[in-house]
Amino acid sequence: MPEPIIGAPAPDFSLPATGNRTISLADLRGQTVVLYFYPKDSTPGCTQEGQEFQQLSGEFAALGAVILGVSRDSVASHEKFRARHGFSFDLLSDAQETTCRAYDVIREKNMYGKTVLGIERSTFLIDADGVLREAWRKVKVKDHAAAVLERLKAL
């Protein structure tokens, strides 16, 4: 699938989420959405990324933004990960990779000498009208959430 385009409508999605819910982008109209894709629950980088978003979650909320994390892990895995770290935001399960592919985050990776397909850590900022405003690819975790918050303030 082609990469989503800044200034164009963000690809819609509807995915199972923590809290025994299904979350759709269409249902979030009127709110800004921070959609971040991460490789795997409970791994060091993914934990740090979630913790950094959690630390700033009040500031995101004050600006009308909803934070959503997406990986291929199951909702049950997400529930444990979320509870263990006290995340107040929802985690979405994309086991079929439909949303990952719509946002073009599935990439070849080298794991212990083998080539595998996995999620490239990426974040998308979607405005209240469902328009993609910013995309970060090949994200480095440290201070990333703060950079997203600064961009949100500039909208």
The residues carrying an active-site annotation are 46
Q: Which residues contact 108 (CB under 8 A, 6 or more apart)?
A: 115, 116, 117
DSSP assignment of 67-96: EEEEESS-HHHHHHHHHHHT--SEEEE-TT
Helix (H) or strand (E) holding 144: helix 144-154
Exposure class string for 69-97: b at 16+ Cβ within 10 A, else e: bbbbbebebbbebbeeeebebbbbbbeee
Residue 50 is encoded by which pair of tokens?
Answer: 């979630």
| Cα distance between residue 13 and residue 94, in whole Å | 10
